[in-house]
Amino acid sequence: MTQPLEVVTLGEPLIQLTPRSGVRLADATELEIHTAGAEANVALAMARLGHHVAYVGRVGSDPFGDRILDVLRTAGVHTDPVVRDQDRPTGVYVKDYDGGQSRMHYYRRGSAATRLTFEDLRPYLGLPRLFHTTGVTAALSPECLTAVQELARHTRTTGEALMSFDVNYRPALWDPSEAGPVLLDLARMADIVFVGCDEAHHLWGTAHPQKIRALLPQVPHLVVKDSSSAAYSFMNDTTIAVPALPTAVVEPVGAGDAFAAGFLSAVLNEADHRTALRYGHLLASAALSSVADQVVPPPPTQMAAAASVDDQTWSRGRLPIAGAAKCRTQAPAEDQLLSAQGGRR
């Protein structure tokens, strides 16, 4: 890696298996294979937006681990920090979408990523402008939680990089009574925080953006996402709201990661927060338009043009991007199939 790092993400990359659109898992004979994982989604999107990104994580010494590393490298993500575990497998999840909502079936217990520690991250301290991780990683194991906590303390103490934290609450991983206080403490130590109103309701008993801000008054950049309605940016005493784009939703998983990637890209490029929220919405809209978790953004000139339209044009979704806000949703190398008859759980 010859250019300075801008972003380091910390988390668990996963293999995602998904039936073709419109087919229930129980009826499927073929599954599409994709890479997934919240921080991997952010790393891929930000690399494709032109940022210099490294990924810190662990995968198994297995073909799924090979595939994940190949996808990350192809997108331009620096993968030297990824540890190959000889004893534990790469995590996998299977998505079952019934046309109304997705149900995820995870096969990640005891995965390589549960062994992630702060020592895996230590060689990269002092290098990037921004670290990004999520509440998913904090929930994977006590070692993972400690790694996230130590990273947050390090960035808060040294001030050498920004810490971005997406609350990203997953009920399948831990109960809100346990997760709520932990995630609130982590968010309070971060510089940039993303949280959905629905998450805040489950974790902290409030879904109102202003009340969420009252819980996190010391966070320099707080972004509250109100589903398909709007996103709010709280910075010092300033509040900015930008409505979500009108989007025909194919499948919602991955939209939050796409939003974070767009927003963080704009922040690193020193854009104002209204533009940053629009970048987030643009990539989230693309993710909502696909069964895959990731997006391949349009060219920077088109992104900039779309983010700069007037409010009326924005609200109507009439944007100067080919295919409206629906960016390409997967790199061609990802469009491969796995026969369900030959696959193993």
Distance CA 164, CA 53 (A): 14
Per DSSP, which regions of the chain are E strands?
Answer: 7-10, 14-19, 30-36, 53-56, 58-60, 83-85, 92-97, 102-107, 130-134, 162-166, 192-196, 221-226, 230-235, 238-243, 336-339
Residue type for 110, please? Answer: G
SS3 (DSSP) at 275: helix
- Among candidates 257, 262, 271, 240, which has minimal Cα distance to 321? 262
CA dihedral 151, 152, 156, 161 (to 10 degrees): 60
Residue type for 185, please? Answer: D
Please give, one letter per residue, the 3-state secondary structure of 148-214: HHHHHHHHHHHCCCEEEEECCCCCCCCCHHHHHHHHHHHHHHCCEEEEEHHHHHHHHCCCCHHHHHH
Q: Give Dmax (Cα) for the chain.
A: 57
Catalytic residue chosen out of the listed positions 85, 166, 257, 293: 257
Distance CA 122, CA 147 (A): 10
185 counts as catalytic: no
Distance of CA 247 to the CA centre of its chain: 19
Per DSSP, what are the bridge partners of residue 336?
Answer: 33
Per DSSP, what are the bridge partners of residue 15?
Answer: 35, 92
Across the beta sheet with 230-235, the strand order is: 53-56, 7-10, 130-134, 162-166, 192-196, 221-226, 230-235, 238-243
**Residues carrying an active site annotation:** 257
